[in-house]
Amino acid sequence: MTKRQPSQPMPVAVLLSGTGRTLDNLLARIESDRLPIRIARVISSHAGVRGLQIAADAGIDHRVVAPGDYRSVEQYSRAVFESCREVAARLVVMAGFIRFVRIPSDFDGRVVNIHPSLIPAFCGKGYYGSRVHRAVLEYGVKLTGCTVHFVDNQYDHGPIIMQQAVPVLDGDTAERLAARVFEAECQLYPAAIAAIAANRVHIEDRWVRIDPVPNAAPEETS
């Protein structure tokens, strides 16, 4: 990734499909000066979703790139990433984006996602939303969590950047567990994106190395 001056916020494109809670959280972090990025464009796979309204209310360029308007995954992916190039996005942040896209070579290592489990458990095709948490409860694991990872051309497969564990409690429902995992996501995703923005994240095959924060005590995620 090209080095930027630390004073310039990194331009980012956000991809979403629905409620936009993740976008909301990123905007709150930017607003309170805890995340040095600029959201240059929000792209939704669906029209009329709350995520688009959040972008509109924040005065952010937003548009719909709907899979139904394209004949293949390849054509759809080209349209999505062309839209990201138009705003010179250095990083593409998937934020509740449920469509599969193929990553073009110029965006290799520049697309991130957050998944609501500890990958490689409870992930892959079909594991999204409450299905993930229901599967966790059905299996009976005691620990779940969330994973920020680079996106490659397989579902939930690219190199892992950060993970946060969340205990599964007696009597948990999928809704209660989802809420606690999402609280963890609200800390973890901005922390990972901030590390990328500071050029502290390096991909070494499947291992992601993160430089410590210069002149800082142990890193805080809140």
Site string for ligand GRF, 171-200 (x = CB under 6 A): --------------x---------------
Contacts of 167 (CB under 8 A, 6+ apart): 142, 143
Site string for ligand GRF, 148-167 (x = CB under 6 A): --------------------
Q: Which of 51, 203, 177 is nearest to 118 (CA)?
A: 177
Q: C-beta of 21: minimal distance to ligand GRF in Å?
A: 3
Q: Does 96 bind ligand GRF (CB under 6 A)?
A: yes
Gap between the Cα atoms of 99 and 76, Å rounded: 10
Is-contact 49 67, C-beta < 8 A?
A: no
Q: C-beta of 213: minimal distance to ligand GRF in Å?
A: 25
Q: C-beta of 31: minimal distance to ligand GRF in Å?
A: 17
Gap between the Cα atoms of 189 and 222, Å rounded: 10
Q: Does 21 bind ligand GRF (CB under 6 A)?
A: yes
Neighbouring C-beta atoms of residue 215, cutoff 10 Å: 5
Site string for ligand GRF, 54-93 (x = CB under 6 A): ----------------------------------------
Q: Which of 115, 133, 149, 157 is catalytic?
A: 115
Q: Does 46 bind ligand GRF (CB under 6 A)?
A: no
Neighbouring C-beta atoms of residue 171, cutoff 10 Å: 5
Among 27, 44, 110, 116, binds ligand GRF (CB under 6 A): 116
The CA dihedral of 85, 91, 97, 100, to the nearest 10 degrees, is 70
**Tokens standing for residue 67:** 């899979």
Which residues are near ligand GRF by CB under 6 A?
16, 18-22, 51, 95-96, 114-116, 185
